[in-house]
Structure 1
Amino acid sequence: MGETKTEKASKTSWFIGLKAEFGKIIWPDKKSLSRQTAAVVAVSVVLGLIIAVLDVIIRYGVDNLVKL
């Protein structure tokens, strides 16, 4: 079962369309990229700390319930 001409043409046009869409991407400058990266890291650290604190509180509560 080989490829037909329409399958090959559709793949070629797909890659042409992909290249055209890729050219429309507006890449951020270094300053914007560094600010966004710092924001993502900061939010990740804060959420990690919140989850860790909640984990300790819940574990303490469950341990106390089990001991009863």
Structure 2
Amino acid sequence: MEETKAVQNSSETSEKKSSAKKSKNKEDGVFSKISGFFAGVKAEFGKIIWPTRDDIVKQTTAVVVVSAVCCALIALLDIVFEYGVNVITSIF
């Protein structure tokens, strides 16, 4: 008998907690949720580690150099394939 009372008491307590959460959620309005969202965004912006000017210059230079090398490689391959196709078509 005592065991069932303990189980009933714990289930009543959990029901009270869930009903308190539901009423709390109803109290939270749309504007408070939006305010909480923007407060979180502001907190996350504070955690960002922004790169220095030197880092940006180095990374931009690396991207431009790699892009130029890739462009030259593609142009070279285009010339080689064009020459190869012209040779093959002149044979036939």
Shorter-normalised TM range: 0.5 to 0.7
Unaligned regions of 5+ residues in structure 1, if any?
Answer: 1-7
Q: Which runs of 4+ in 1 moved over 2 A?
A: 8-25
Q: Report the Cα offset of residue 64 of structure 1.
A: 1.0
Q: TM-score w.r.t. structure 2 length?
A: 0.52
The answer for the alignment partner of 1:3 in structure 2 is none
Q: TM-score w.r.t. structure 1 length?
A: 0.67
3-state secondary structure, aligned to 1:36: helix
Q: Report the Cα offset of residue 10 of structure 1.
A: 7.3
For this pair of structures, how many residues does the alignment match? 64
The share of aligned pairs that are identical, in percent, is 44
Structure (1 or 2) with the greater helix fraction = 2
3-state secondary structure, aligned to 1:27: coil
Worse overlay, 13-22 or 41-50: 13-22
Unaligned regions of 5+ residues in structure 2, if any?
Answer: 1-30
